[in-house]
Structure 1
Amino acid sequence: MIRLLGASLVGLLLSILVVLGGAGPAAAHATLVEADPVDGAVLAEAPDEATLRFTENVALSSGGVRLYDADGTERSVQAEAIDEVVTVALPDDLGRGSHVLTWRVTSADGHPVAGSITFAIGEASATVVRPDVGDDAGALRHVVAVTTAAAYLALFAALGAMAFWRFLLPGDQRRAPAGQRVLRLVRIAGVVGAVAWLLVLWVRTAALSGTGLSALVSPGEWSLSSAEVSASVLTAAALLALRWVTETWPVGIALGLGALGPSLAGHTRAFDPQLPVIATDIVHVAAGSAWFGGAFALALVLPQLAGRRAAADLVARFSTLAAGVLVALLATGGLLAWRIVGSWSDLVETTYGRVLLAKVTVVAVVVAIAAWNRFVLLPRSRAAVGHDAERSAMWGIGRAVRAEALLLVGVLALSAVLVDRAPRSVETVTAPAAPLTRTVPLGDAEAHLTLEPGRVGVNTLSVHVEYPEGAPLTKPTLRISGPDADLGEQRLEIVGHGAWTSRIVLPTAGTWEFWLGLRVDKFDNPVEVATFEIP
């Protein structure tokens, strides 16, 4: 048993490392689709509030939204989340220049999402200190993934092995050494699983804080949803109960609660209709546990039953159960994939979809091994004559069962990775690029320049001059030079009182200088430069 568990742990860790090594950063589960003000906006005056709209309902913890001035000074804000919208009350004394609004929310499926937007009042600051938004990528994300995988491994092993011991093993075999080995597996996996599911609460709380691995020592405020806490506590309680219960009804209740727990949190809570999706997930967890834990239990008892007809009968019973479990897995897995993934394109274009395809591939290999075992190896065992022939045939079946169990560890590892992946790509709604604005003094006058869209190519420059009282409304002059070209004098067309416009083609990105002059009188012709950074 120790060697089998050790090999399983190696398989689990290898599967996780392979997936995490090629999957890239964790994708967000709730995605920002609209912000007001938009990222990069330059506003004429300070707004009273900012709003953030996400693809699904989100929750805020204390300090989840922060506001910083351009120099990195934090300003006090009040924020609240109602359904998918976060509303932020901004300070009344918000000054000119750039400001950075950072947010960290918990999506409906319990995962942290972080980001930031930058906006400016009057004009953008020359330099902006970028605060750390506390993204959950990195080492802590791997801790969450490994902890979750260990919790699911122990859960499936305990539930499936107990179902095998209670409902598949004959009564005399339950009390025999083979049955006691399975019972020890159930009790060890139950205790390990209970600790792991409570540990999942700890590491997820740390991940929500956004402060990296240091949060494992002091995770701070408890910010998990009640559904996540209930799911983990219920699952831990069900696993601990398996240490003491052995009768049919208590075992059945514990198994049912163990399958229910994981379905109360995660992706199933984020998709409608919730009750059918959660019910489907419960059946999926129960079927997966019966197959996974049953295969482990079968691998444990077969060496002690080798050479006996009882072994062949047990394999036949488990194969019959596995066939029904496979039908349930395919049906529930298909329904869950349809509701959660949502489209064929997301099946290949998202990390979640690709990991799901990898999981299906491994399951297909396991099914092939199980079919070979049931339809080739088992008939050979029944046809074998003599103790040695029977023992050799059962040894072949045992190897196939062990291979099946180890591959199912990989399936479970992939399932744990899916828990922390975004199932759908989101086409983010982006507003048009905000125009670039500058203000320059021209003697006693002041000129406001607006360049739109502020990109390489055709742009429209609007110039509005505020003349001092009594001053003549003289036409300004404009000359433009850039990193690789001097565009020379530009023609300005009057469009209103003190308002002028010009069509400008900027051929390359870089720093462009707009030299604006204004003849105030015959002796005074001030010229000032407005600098625009063109991406």
Structure 2
Amino acid sequence: MRLIAGLVALLSVLCFATVASAHASLVSTEPGDGSVLAQTPKTVQLRFNEAVTPAVIRLIDAAGRTRDDAAVRASDETIVITLPENLPRGTQVVSYRVISADGHPVAGSMLFSIGAVTGAAAIPTNAGSVSGLIWLARIGVYLGLFVGVGGAFFATWVGQTRSGSTAIIAATVVGLFSAAASLGLDGLDVLDLPLPDILISTPWKAALATSLGPSLLIAVAAMAAGFVAQRNRSVRVARTLSVLAIAGAGFSLAASGHAATAPPQWATRPLVFLHGVGVAFWVGALVPLVAMTWRPTPALLPVLNRFSRGAVPVVAVLLLAGLALAIAQMESFRALVETKYGIILSIKLTLVVALLGLAALNRFRLTPALAFDHLNTRPLIQSILIECMVVAGILAVVAGWRFTPPPRAAAVQPPLGLHMHTDNAMFQVLVSPAKVGSDSFVVQLMNGDASPLSAKEATLTLSLPELGIEPLERRATLGADGYWHLRDVPIPHPGRWHLRIDALVTDFQQITLEDDFDVPAR
């Protein structure tokens, strides 16, 4: 027991060593995305809503050349790119690929122009070239953790039989190979490399440096323990290893991914652990039960009764943990049908309801019928086989979450950019978050040639004519960055707001530019 406690403690340290807040999203850039500057800035700063690790940062200048003389460094939530001094005039592109705390790559780009706006160069990408393989590898890992590890636990503790051993071992082997493949493929995705580069060490090292690395290592350890437990003749050793294996399956899932890194992590990580262990217990029983019902003996009914008694509290915890995690990920009920993540969750919930219906049928009707005729197992076999197909559908659907950020992360949007200009002046305005409530504005004042415009005062005026809201005036404050800032500006209603910027250049000269922007409903 001391050995078990020590290994579980070690797995706990590995699992919870990564501290994070959410799926990363870009929240602001400096200079602003789409801004026009008179001179080359010294740096470009990308600010995210959590600490990120830069994977690939590309600077494509106005001539379409990828520059290798731009230095990159990370500081908590900010990526700082030091620019070369000899950038040509025109539109520059900064393409970024960073690693979120949940182990998934987050990619995008921002543009800024020096002197004037020109056509931006296209950015080459390998995105999507390995997505299908990543999805298949993830399903393979699930098979190893749930069918392999869960099956070993059922065989040693509940069934006390070797029925279905061949299928359990096969699932474990598939899981082990899939875990290795998943590591290399995710490394390719992180660095945006083509598939042939899986033969070099670079993508493997990159994947190990993310939270996915420890997660897959724990999964491999869990599947290896389950494999040995399934083949070991000693009941005591097999049971010990199967407990470690099923705990490792839970820790592996809790070490990485959208759900595990959702705040507050002191709650979400244990919930993912409980959910994963519950799934392994339930799914792991299906293959051995099919094998036992295929060749029924008098021992079948006691095994089914033991499993039914244990499954009730396990499934209850599984469902409650899953419900809590779904609430943590979703912004609203509408997200179930309005977002890709929500659609996947809706499909999963539908399949889970079907699975619960089959489980109830087995427990309350088909299993009691065996007390009268233990050889009439055909209806039960058919029901369990349908359960297996439903489970396969759930695993295939859930593997798609790897490519879909949850609504809680997708809700973080970059600032809304407005560009107003005349022959004599250009104003760049960033509105964040451009939603009903309290918003912030950043105003960049420029002359017609994109050189900085000095002003004594800058005033912002908002109005919503369609609802009869009269002009709301706020005076801006000049920041150390040379931009004019306004914070906590109220936007009480959705609609098409009218914005006016008045820049007092001298006591006798004022420049006024106006534009409209849309504020969506909540």
Match of 2:19 in 1: none
Query: Is residue 96 from structure 1 mapped to residue 86 from structure 2 by the alignment?
Result: no
Alpha carbons of structure 1 residues 288 and 60: separation in structure 2 relative to 1, 3 Å? same
Instruction: State the match for 1:310 in structure 2.
Output: 299
> What do residues 344-378 of structure 1 show as CA deviations (whole Å, max 9, x unaligned)?
33333221111111111101101111111211222
Show CA shifts across 1:439-464 (max 9, x none): xxxxxxxxx6435689xxxxx99769
Alignment match, 2:356: 367
Matched, 1:274 2:265: yes
Paired residue for 2:62, among 60, 70, 80?
70
Counterpart of 1:489 in structure 2 is: none
With over 3 angstroms needed to count, the CA separation of the structure-2 counterparts of 1:311 and 1:269, relative to structure 1, is closer
Cα deviations across residues 67-95 of structure 1 (Å, max 9, x unaligned)? 12211123321122222221111223334
Q: Does 1:429 align with 2:423?
A: no
Cα distance change on mapping 1:150 and 1:333 into 2, 3 Å: same
Does structure 1 residue 150 correspond to structure 2 residue 140?
A: yes
Q: Decide whether the 8 Å contact of 1:108 with 1:269 is kept in 2.
A: no
Worse-superposed segment, 285-294 or 72-81: 72-81
Aligned AA (1:48): K
1:142, distance to aligned residue in structure 2 (A): 1.4
Task: Confirm or deny that 1:397 pairs with 2:387.
Answer: no
Paired residue for 1:46, among 15, 40, 54? 40
**Does residue 412 in structure 1 map to residue 412 in structure 2?**
no
Matched to 1:355, the amino acid is I
- Do 1:464 and 1:500's aligned partners in 2 also have CA atoms closer than 8 Å? no
Cα distance in 2 for partners of 1:201, 1:350 equals: 28
**C-alpha separation between the residues in 2 aligned to 1:409 and 1:194?**
18
The CA deviation string for residues 374-431 of structure 1, in whole angstroms up to 9 with x for no partner, is: 11222333234xxxxx423x11111111111221111122222223321122241324
3-state SS of the aligned residue for 1:383?
coil
- In the TM superposition, 1:183-332 aligns within 5 A as 183-218=165-200, 220-221=202-203, 222-224=205-207, 225-245=209-229, 246=232, 247=237, 248-305=239-296, 308-332=297-321
Determine whether 1:182 maps to 2:182: no
Secondary structure in 2 matching 1:128: coil
Assess, with a 3 A threshold, how the Cα gap between structure 1 residues 364 and 449 changes in structure 2: closer, same or farther: same
- CA–CA separation in structure 2 for the residues paired with 1:115 and 1:418: 19
| 1:472-498 superposed Cα distances (whole Å, 9 cap, x missing partner) | xxxxxxxxxxxxxxxxxxxxxx98799
CA contact (8 A) 1:59 1:105 kept: yes
In the alignment, what sits opposite 1:478? none
Could you tell me how far 1:154 is from its partner in structure 2?
2.0
Which amino acid is 1:232 matched to? L
Does 1:450 find its partner at 2:446?
no
Q: SS at the partner of 2:263? A: coil
Deviations 1:84-127 (A, max 9, x none): 221111223334222111111111111112111111112123x3
SS at match of 1:309: coil
Check conservation: 2:228, 2:241, Cα contact below 8 A: no
The one-letter amino acid of 2:36's match is: V
Normalising by structure 2, we get a TM-score of 0.73
The residue aligned with 1:84 is 77
Letter in structure 2 aligned against 1:397: L
Provide the rounded CA distance (Å) in 2 between the counterparts of 1:377 and 1:80: 63
Contact 1:149 1:413 in 2 (8 A): yes
1:118 is paired with a residue whose SS is strand
**C-alpha distance in structure 1 between counterparts of 2:170 and 2:449, whole Å:** 77
2:104 counterpart residue number: 111
Which whole-Å CA distance do the structure 1 matches of 2:132 and 2:450 have between them? 57
Determine helix, strand or coil for the equivalent of 2:227: coil
User: What is the Cα deviation at residue 274 of structure 1?
Assistant: 1.9
CA contact (8 A) 2:62 2:89 kept: no
**Alignment gaps of 5+ in structure 1:** 1-27, 385-389, 438-447, 455-459, 467-493, 506-535
Out of 285-294 and 80-89, give the one that drifted further: 80-89
- Relative distance call for 1:51 and 1:130 in structure 2 (3 A) is same
- The residue type equivalent to 2:43 in the other structure is E
User: Could you say if the C-alpha distance between residues 47 and 498 of structure 1 is closer, same or farther in structure 2, counting changes exceeding 3 Å?
Assistant: farther
CA distance in 2, matches of 1:276, 1:413: 26
Aligned to 1:339: 328
How many residues are treated as equivalent by the alignment? 416
2-structure distance, mates of 1:87, 1:502: 34
The 1-side partners of 2:97 and 2:148 are apart by 36
| 1:463/1:30 CA distance change after superposition, 3 Å | closer
3-state secondary structure, aligned to 1:168: helix
Structure 1 Cα separation of the partners of residues 206 and 288 of structure 2: 38
The code of the aligned residue for 1:270 comes to T
Contact kept in structure 1, 2:176 and 2:223, CA below 8 Å: yes
Cα distance, 1:130 vs. partner? 2.3
Contact 1:373 1:397 in 2 (8 A): yes
In the other structure, the counterpart of 1:352 is 341
Q: Which has more radius of gyration?
A: 1
Amino acid at match of 1:419: R
Cα separation, partners in 2 of 1:431 and 1:182, compared to 1, 3 Å: same
1:161 is the counterpart of 2:151 = yes
Which amino acid is the alignment partner of residue 186 of structure 2? R
Contact 2:25 2:49 (8 Å CA) reproduced: yes
Structure 2: where are the runs of 5+ without partners? 1-21, 430-444, 452-503, 516-522
After superposition, the Cα gap between the structure-2 partners of 1:85 and 1:244, relative to the gap in structure 1 and judged at 3 Å, is same
Q: Which runs of 4+ in 1 moved over 6 A?
A: 460-466, 494-505
CA contact under 8 A between 1:193 and 1:239: conserved in structure 2? yes
1:25-69 Cα shifts (integer Å, max 9, x gaps): xxx9422221111221111222211111123321113xx222122
Give the Å deviation of 1:500. 9.4
**RMSD of aligned residue pairs (Cα, Å):** 3.1
**What is the CA-CA distance between 1:338 and the residue it aligns to?**
2.1
Structure-2 change in CA distance of 1:107 and 1:241 (3 Å): same
